[in-house]
Amino acid sequence: MTEEHTQYTVSGLLIENELLRERVEALRKTADGFTDASNNHWDSQNRRIKELEATVARLEADNRRLRKLDAMPLDAIERYHAYTHYDVHAANDAGYTTQQFDMDDAAIGAWLEVVTHD
């Protein structure tokens, strides 16, 4: 039986070694590129999730505020405002002038107009 021997030259081994290095480097870059793209995608998704959570929190706060507004007896306030008149004696005793009453009356009327007439 004879044995076959493969002869390698140093330059052949260097070339083969260099090709293997290039392949490994290309695979590493691909893996790193995928990891970078994947991380960027996850970062983007996490930012979007935080934005949506902030929006939900704001909407829930608005909802709580609107529920309180719905519970306000606006009809009663509107009737009370419409039929309340300036009491000169009580106002003078309290230091509440007719100018203050007129300004308050106008402010309340404007607010009721906005709230009751969408």
Q: pLDDT per residue over 74-94, tens digit each?
A: 777 777 777 777 788 888 888
| Residues 66 and 15 both lie in one domain | yes
Structure tokens at 82: 């419409």
Q: What is the pLDDT of residue 54?
A: 92
| Residues 28 and 52 both lie in one domain | yes
| Residues 39 and 66 both lie in one domain | yes
For helices 98-116 and 74-83, angle between their N-to-C axes, nearest 10 degrees: 150
| Residues 63 and 82 both lie in one domain | no
Q: pLDDT per residue over 23-51, tens digit each?
A: 888 777 777 666 666 777 788 888 888 99
Q: Name the residue with tokens 């009356």.
A: 105
Q: What is the pTM of this model?
A: 0.36
* Cβ atoms 28, 35 nearer than 8 A: no
Q: What is the pLDDT of residue 45?
A: 85
| Residues 83 and 105 both lie in one domain | yes
| Residues 102 and 80 both lie in one domain | yes
Q: Give the range of the structural domain holding residue 27, as residue numbers without chain letter.
A: 1-71
User: Nearest 5°: phi and psi at 113?
Assistant: -60, -45
Number of folded domains that form the chain:
2
